C-alpha cells in the first residue's frame, strides 16, 4: 500500500494560527493600553470605534512582514517584531505617566541625558507592569511547545499580498474616518494626542518619523528669501515699550532664578494651615517687584530646556524633542549675545553635568561667556547632592564667590534642581509636612517646594551681603508644571474643586517675578507666556528690540497682545481658552457663546501661524541669513567651557 504524506495533504500552514494569535493579542493589548493608560479624551461612538480599529491595521501590517521569511525564521521574526512593538508601546506608557505626552524620534536620540534620568524613570515603573508582557511569554511558550512541529513551508508572495492588502485597507479606512471626524488631521495642529487617538500608537510613530525627517531637511533647502515673511510678521507684531518701564533697569546686572517645577497655585497656598512658600509670597507684595499671576509655561517635550530656549531667544521650542539637542549648532541672536554689545558679561550656573541637555554646546551658540557646571563646584559633601545636581542651598552658597567674580554688568542664570520630580529629599532637611492625598508625587511636592523657597531667600540674603542687590534685576520664573494632569484626582483633594479642562489650563500658570530696585511693583494680571520674557527684560534694560526676530512681546507694553499660545496649538486669553476642539469661557468654565466663535477661531489661526513661523526659523536655521545692524554675530568656536570657566572665552 502506498504511504500517505500527511504534510502533503495538509492545506493549512501551522504558522497561520500562531500568526493570528499574535495579531489578536497585540491588537487587544494596544487597544486596552490606549484606552486605559493614555488620556485621549475619546468622545462619541465614532472615536471609540476608531480607538478599537486603529491597532488592528498596524498589528496586521507589521506582523505580516514575518510571512516573507523562510522556514522556521518566520517564527523568530514574528516574535522579534512583536516584542519591538510591545517595547515601543510600553516605553510610551512610562513616558506618558510623567510627561502626559508621547515619545518622538528626536527624544530617542537624546541619549546623553539617559544616565541622569535613571532615578526618575524608576519611579514611573509600577510593580504591576510585568503584566504588560504576559502576552509575550504566552507567545514564547507556544513557540517552545511547538518547536518540533513547526511548519517549515514558505508562503508565496501571492499568498502574502492579500494579508498586506487587508491591513492597508483597514489603515486607509481608519484614516478616512479620522479625516471625516477631524479634517486635516495630519496637517493642522500640533497635538500628538489627536494622532494617537485617531490613528493609533504605531501609525503615530510612523507619522512622527516622517515629520522629523522632513524637519531635518528644511535647513538644506532654505535660503535667505524664506526669512522675509517671518521678519515682516515680527515687525508688524512688535509692541512699543512703555515709557514708564523702558530703561527702568538700564545698566543693572541681570539674574534669572529658574524655579524648577513651580506652579502658580503654590503662591499663597497653605498646607495644613502653613504657608508652603512664605518667602516668595512676601515677594508678591514687594514694593519693587512686578508679580504676574496669569503667566503660563509654553514648554513641550523639552520642558526645562524649552523654557530656557524661549527666555533667551523669544522663539518657541520645537513640537518634537528639544532644540537644545537637535538644533544646538544653529545661528542664534540670544540675550547673552545681544547684551555683549552693551558691555555685559554672561554666565550660567548649574550644578549638573555640562553635557546634560547639550547645554555645553548650545550655550556657545547663544553666546554665554561662561558656564559653571558641576566641575566648577569643589568641596561638596555627601548631603549636598540631589538627583539632578547640587541641592539648592549649597548650590547658591558655593555660587556666590563665582558670581561676585564676574565683571559688571552681568547677565546670569541659575538653574535650581532640588524641586524636581520625583520630589524626594532627606527628611532631616524638610521643614513642612507632606500632603496626605496618597499620591506620592503630589504629597512630596510641597516639601521640596518649601526647601526651594528657603534657598531663594538665602540667595537674596547673599546678594544683599555682597553689595550687588541695589544694582541687580532679579527675574524668577517657573519653567513648567511640576504635577501633570495624570495626578488631577489628588489635586482635586488639595484644591477642593473639580479639575475641569479650564481649571487644568489654569494649572499651567507658573510664577513670574521681576524685581528691579527703584521700580514700582505690584500684582500684574496681564496674560503672557515664556515667549514674552526676552523683549520684556531687554526693554527694562533700555535695549530696543524692533529689529530682532522675536515672537513674544513686552509684557509691560500697552500694545502687548494677551494671547498665550501653547505648543500643541491650544491657547489662553482673558476671554477665551482653546482646549482641544472646544473654546471655553475661562470665567464660567463653559463653552463660549456662538457670537464669540469668530473671535476664537481668529485667535487660534493667529497662534498656529506664529508657531509655524517660529518652527520655520528654527528648523531652517533662518537667522544665519539675517543680522540686525546693531548685532554682532556669535562664533561658537570662540568658547571653551572645558577650560577654566573664568577664562572660557578666547
Residue 1: predicted pLDDT: 43
Question: Does residue 337 carry a pLDDT above 80?
Answer: yes
Strand (E) positions, 344-479? 345-350, 370-372, 385-386, 389-390, 410-415, 472-478
Question: Does residue 220 carry a pLDDT above 90?
Answer: no
pLDDT digits (tens, 9 = 90+) for 444-465: 999 999 999 999 999 999 999 9
Q: What is d(CA 628, CA 548) in angstroms, rounded to the nearest whole number?
A: 7
Strand partners, 291: 513, 523
Average pLDDT, the chain: 90
Residue 6 — pLDDT band, cuts 50, 70, 90?
A: very low
Query: Cell triple for residue 644?
Result: 577654566
Reported pTM: 0.78
pLDDT digits (tens, 9 = 90+) for 600-648: 999 999 999 999 999 999 999 999 999 999 999 999 989 988 655 555 5
- Closest to 102 in 3D by CA, of 113, 91, 114: 91
Q: What is d(CA 214, CA 200) in angstroms, rounded to the nearest whole number?
A: 21
- Closest to 501 in 3D by CA, of 408, 411, 590: 590
- Closest to 378 in 3D by CA, of 351, 360, 345, 403: 351
pLDDT digits (tens, 9 = 90+) for 134-186: 999 999 998 888 765 677 788 888 888 999 999 999 999 999 998 888 877 87
Residue 209: predicted pLDDT: 83
Report which DSSP code applies to 646.
G
Residue 120 — pLDDT band, cuts 50, 70, 90?
A: low
pLDDT digits (tens, 9 = 90+) for 359-398: 988 999 999 999 999 999 999 988 899 888 899 999 999 9
The gap from C-alpha 38 to its chain's centroid, in whole angstroms, comes to 17
Whether residue 422 has a cis bond before it, omega within 30° of 0 = yes
Query: Cell triple for residue 523?
Result: 500684582
More confident residue, 154 or 572: 572
CA neighbours within 13 Å on the CB side: how many for 443? 8
pLDDT digits (tens, 9 = 90+) for 496-538: 999 999 999 999 999 999 999 999 999 999 999 999 999 999 9
Residue 110: predicted pLDDT: 54
Question: Does residue 7 carry a pLDDT above 60?
Answer: no
- Closest to 617 in 3D by CA, of 315, 306, 210, 221: 315
Task: Quickly count: other Cβ atoms within 10 Å of residue 5's Cβ.
Answer: 8
Question: Does residue 113 carry a pLDDT above 70?
Answer: no
Q: What is d(CA 90, CA 464) in angstroms, rounded to the nearest whole number?
A: 51
Question: Does residue 253 carry a pLDDT above 50?
Answer: yes
Residue 478: predicted pLDDT: 97
Query: Cell triple for residue 300?
Result: 513641550
What is the SS3 string spanning 265-303? HHCCCEECCEECCHHHHHHHCCCCEEEECCEECCCCCCC
DSSP H or E run through 152: none
Whether residue 214 has a cis bond before it, omega within 30° of 0 = no
For residue 285, give every residue at least 6 positions away whose Cβ sits within 8 Å of its Cβ, in sequence order, or none.
521, 523
pLDDT digits (tens, 9 = 90+) for 265-294: 999 999 999 999 999 999 999 999 999 999
pLDDT digits (tens, 9 = 90+) for 13-63: 788 889 999 999 999 999 999 999 988 878 889 999 999 999 999 999 999
The torsion region of residue 452 among left (phi > 0), alpha (psi -120 to 50) and beta comes to alpha
- Reduced to 3 DSSP states, what percent helix, strand and coil does the chain have, rounded to the nearest 5? 50, 10, 40
Q: What is d(CA 294, CA 271) in angstroms, rounded to the nearest whole number?
A: 22
Residues belonging to the chain: 650
Q: What is the mean pLDDT of residues 195-223?
A: 84
Return the active site residues. Answer: 304
H-state helical runs in 589-640 = 597-619
Residue 108: predicted pLDDT: 63
Amino acid at each position: 500500500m502506498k504511504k500517505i504524506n500527511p504534510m502533503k495533504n495538509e492545506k493549512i500552514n501551522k504558522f497561520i494560527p500562531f500568526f493570528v494569535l499574535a495579531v489578536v493579542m497585540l491588537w487587544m493589548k494596544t487597544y486596552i493600553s490606549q484606552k486605559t493608560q493614555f488620556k485621549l479624551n475619546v468622545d462619541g461612538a465614532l472615536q471609540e470605534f476608531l480607538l478599537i480599529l486603529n491597532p488592528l491595521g498596524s498589528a496586521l501590517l507589521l506582523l505580516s512582514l514575518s510571512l516573507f521569511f523562510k522556514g522556521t525564521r518566520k517564527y523568530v521574526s514574528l516574535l522579534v517584531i512583536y516584542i519591538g512593538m510591545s517595547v515601543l508601546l510600553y516605553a510610551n506608557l512610562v513616558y506618558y505617566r510623567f510627561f502626559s505626552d508621547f515619545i518622538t524620534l528626536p527624544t530617542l536620540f537624546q541619549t546623553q541625558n539617559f544616565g541622569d534620568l535613571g532615578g526618575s524613570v524608576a519611579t514611573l515603573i509600577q510593580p504591576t507592569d510585568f503584566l504588560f508582557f504576559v502576552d509575550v511569554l504566552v507567545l514564547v511558550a507556544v513557540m517552545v511547545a511547538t518547536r518540533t512541529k513547526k511548519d517549515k513551508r514558505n508562503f508565496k508572495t501571492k499568498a502574502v499580498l492579500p494579508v498586506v492588502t487587508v491591513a492597508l485597507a483597514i489603515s486607509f479606512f481608519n484614516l478616512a474616518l479620522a479625516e471625516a471626524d477631524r479634517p486635516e488631521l495630519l496637517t493642522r495642529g500640533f497635538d500628538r494626542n489627536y494622532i494617537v487617538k485617531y490613528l493609533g500608537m504605531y501609525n503615530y510613530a510612523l507619522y512622527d518619523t516622517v515629520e522629523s525627517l522632513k524637519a531635518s531637511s528644511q535647513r538644506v533647502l532654505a535660503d535667505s528669501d524664506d526669512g522675509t515673511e517671518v521678519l515682516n510678521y515680527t515687525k508688524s507684531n512688535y509692541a512699543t515699550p512703555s515709557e514708564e518701564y523702558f530703561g527702568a533697569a538700564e545698566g543693572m546686572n541681570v539674574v534669572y532664578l529658574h524655579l524648577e517645577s513651580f506652579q502658580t497655585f503654590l503662591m499663597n497656598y497653605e498646607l495644613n494651615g502653613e504657608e508652603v512658600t512664605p518667602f516668595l509670597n512676601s515677594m508678591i507684595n514687594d514694593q519693587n517687584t512686578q508679580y504676574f499671576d496669569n503667566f503660563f509655561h509654553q514648554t513641550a517635550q523639552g520642558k526645562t530646556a524649552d523654557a530656557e530656549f524661549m527666555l533667551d531667544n523669544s522663539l518657541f521650542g520645537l513640537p518634537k524633542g528639544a532644540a537644545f539637542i537637535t538644533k544646538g549648532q544653529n545661528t542664534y541672536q540670544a540675550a547673552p549675545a545681544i547684551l555683549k554689545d552693551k558691555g555685559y558679561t554672561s554666565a550660567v550656573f548649574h550644578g549638573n553635568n555640562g553635557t546634560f541637555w547639550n547645554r555645553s554646546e548650545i550655550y556657545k551658540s547663544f553666546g554665554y561667556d561662561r558656564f559653571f557646571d558641576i566641575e566648577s563646584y569643589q568641596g561638596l559633601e555627601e548631603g549636598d547632592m540631589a538627583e539632578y545636581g547640587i541641592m539648592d542651598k549649597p548650590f547658591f552658597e558655593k555660587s556666590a564667590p563665582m558670581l561676585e567674580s564676574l565683571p559688571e554688568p552681568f547677565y546670569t542664570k541659575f538653574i535650581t534642581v532640588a524641586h524636581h520630580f520625583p520630589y524626594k529629599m532627606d527628611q532631616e532637611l524638610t521643614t513642612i509636612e507632606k500632603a496626605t492625598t496618597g499620591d506620592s508625587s503630589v504629597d512630596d511636592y510641597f516639601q521640596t517646594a518649601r526647601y526651594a523657597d528657603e534657598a531663594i531667600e538665602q540667595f537674596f540674603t547673599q546678594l544683599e551681603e555682597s553689595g550687588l542687590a541695589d544694582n541687580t534685576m532679579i527675574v524668577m520664573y517657573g519653567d513648567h508644571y511640576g504635577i501633570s494632569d495624570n495626578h488631577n484626582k489628588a489635586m482635586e483633594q488639595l484644591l477642593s474643586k473639580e479639575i475641569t479642562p479650564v481649571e487644568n489650563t489654569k494649572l499651567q500658570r507658573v510664577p513670574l517675578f521681576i524685581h528691579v530696585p527703584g521700580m514700582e511693583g505690584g500684582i500684574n494680571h496681564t496674560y503672557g507666556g515664556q515667549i514674552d520674557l526676552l523683549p520684556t527684560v531687554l526693554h527694562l534694560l533700555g535695549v530696543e528690540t524692533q529689529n530682532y526676530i522675536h515672537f513674544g512681546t513686552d509684557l509691560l507694553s500697552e500694545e502687548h497682545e494677551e494671547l498665550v499660545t501653547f505648543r500643541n496649538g491650544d491657547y489662553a486669553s482673558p476671554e477665551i481658552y482653546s482646549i482641544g476642539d472646544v473654546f471655553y469661557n475661562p470665567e464660567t468654565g463653559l463653552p463660549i457663546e456662538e457670537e464669540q466663535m469668530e473671535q476664537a477661531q481668529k485667535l487660534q489661526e493667529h497662534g498656529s501661524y506664529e508657531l509655524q513661523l517660529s518652527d520655520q526659523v528654527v528648523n531652517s536655521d533662518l537667522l544665519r541669513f539675517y543680522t540686525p545692524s546693531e548685532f554682532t554675530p556669535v562664533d561658537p568656536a570662540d568658547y571653551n567651557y572645558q577650560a577654566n570657566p573664568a577664562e572660557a572665552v578666547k
